Structure 1
């Protein structure tokens, strides 16, 4: 990664109990996707939130790394996409996956992942 790319990308993680929160910023591409993946791998993590709300670019290498994470954390991964990430995932046919938060949550808002419920049920499970 050259000096310019380091300024365009960061991936930080924080473990709280068994919940790993990973915040990714900037561009996720073939030069940085592996760094995103590694930041999200932790042997003590039972649940993982991958916050991509400040990601400005997401390519096929990023999609590949994301799919590796879904395999590593089946039923335990929640992805909070930026508008750009949401568009790429929608175009690639991944927009309806259960690990993808149903709506884009603005940066700075409290994180509450909302997953779509079964047909006929409210999205967040409320009645």
Structure 2
């Protein structure tokens, strides 16, 4: 989508609370930003990781790849909270029934 020269909105922030890491991602997760989401999530070691994607407005194949990598790396420790757009993409890709995906 052309935004009149404005860069796409994206942010990924992490907060560690004891053994729980919460990463909040906002905006468009695509080829340009998926690795930042991945690296932000892996930066701090934690027993439990919540990847909050409820503020994500666009999610492409690079984003899917990053989440699948996180799920593999954080097996049994990852919870993904998706936005409606993220759920739709994961449904299309056949990943909507994964144990790490928690819908509201």
Same fold (TM over 0.5): yes
Partner residue, 1:30? 31
Please list every run of 5 or more consecutive structure 2 residues that lacks an aligned counterpart in the other structure. none
Relative contact order (alpha carbons < 8 A, sep ≥ 6): 1 or 2 greater? 2
Please list every run of 5 or more consecutive structure 1 residues that lacks an aligned counterpart in the other structure. 106-127
Residue 55 of structure 1: SS of its match in structure 2?
strand
Does 2:4 align with 1:4?
Answer: no
RMSD (CA atoms): 1.4
CA deviations on 1:79-126 (whole Å, 9 max, x unpaired) are 00000000000110000000000x2x3xxxxxxxxxxxxxxxxxxxxx
Pick the structure with greater CA Rg: 1
1:14 Cα shift? Answer: 0.4
Q: Matches of residues 1-127 of structure 1 in structure 2 within 5 Å?
A: 4-5=7-8, 8-101=9-102, 103=103, 105=104
Consecutive aligned runs of 4 or more in structure 1 exceeding 6 Å deviation: none
